[in-house]
Amino acid sequence: MARRRFRPQRSNPPVRPRPSVGRAPIGDPMAGSAESGGTAGVLIPEPETQLDEIEIREGPLVAVVMGAESDRVVMAAACDELKERGISFEETVVSAHRDPEQVREYARGARIRGIKVIIAGAGMAAALPGSIAAYTDLPVIGVPIRSENAVSGGLDALLSIAQSPSGVPVACVAINGAQNAAILASRILFA
């Protein structure tokens, strides 16, 4: 579910180059002109022009992905934190083991859709964060989830995520640490 409340607070918002239509000519400050009402030499930007120049960003910045519907209760803490911070996000349920093709498509398409950080939560043999990181160079934050059939209170998922092989980095928060994942995502966005 996408939230579109986020507005980047940049001191220098990106602007599109525009032709100089609508601006008063730069010339002899004393010359005057019919169009500018006798204020030639003074730049008077038209309000509409200024508004046009600000690029309004569409689409979510953060992807919250989880391996099963049963993970929603834990991952809700990440969504709540992102909402609290006014950061747009989308939520997706996709399993690394059950839907490998969809995981690949999702991860490969994330950057082009404007996603900046991916939070991926899974339990048991939690391959989802690593699978996503294998297909994208976006930062991936893994959330080990203590599932119903967890071994050692979620140690299975923790090790599956934290023990990612070199070359495929996945950040790893605490077991069920979805809120921290969202805070970390926010820090990455504003680094």
- Summarize as ranges the residues that interact with ligand AIR (CB under 6 A): 67-68, 70-71, 95-98, 122-127, 145, 147
CB of 190 to ligand AIR, least distance (A): 29
The CA-based dihedral angle spanning residues 168, 174, 177, 180, taken in that order and rounded to the nearest 10 degrees: -70
CB of 157 to ligand AIR, least distance (A): 7
Query: Is 92 or 95 the residue whose CB approaches ligand AIR more closely?
Result: 95
Q: How far is the CB of 129 from ligand AIR (least distance, A)?
A: 10
Nearest to 121 by CA among 186, 166, 71, 184: 71
Our CB check for ligand AIR shows the closer of 123 and 139 to be 123
* Least gap, CB of 44 to ligand AIR (angstroms): 59
Radius of gyration of the chain (CA): 23
- Please identify, using beta-carbon distances, which residue of 40 and 157 lies nearer to ligand AIR: 157
User: In whole angstroms, what is the distance from residue 120 CA to residue 111 CA?
Assistant: 15
Cβ distance to ligand AIR smaller for residue 61 or 126: 126
Alpha carbon distance, N-terminus to C-terminus of the chain? 25
Smallest separation, CB 169 to ligand AIR (Å)? 20
Query: What is the rounded distance in angstroms from the CA atom of residue 60 to the CA atom of residue 189?
Result: 12
Report the candidate in 137, 145, 128 with the shortest Cα–Cα distance to residue 93: 128
- The C-alpha atoms of residue 163 and residue 138 are separated, in whole angstroms, by 19
Residues 82-99: b if buried by 16+ CB within 10 A, e if exposed: beebebbbbbebbbbeee
Q: Closer CB to ligand AIR, residue 130 or residue 139?
A: 130
Minimal distance, residue 48 CB to ligand AIR, in Å: 50
Closest to ligand AIR by CB, 68 or 188: 68
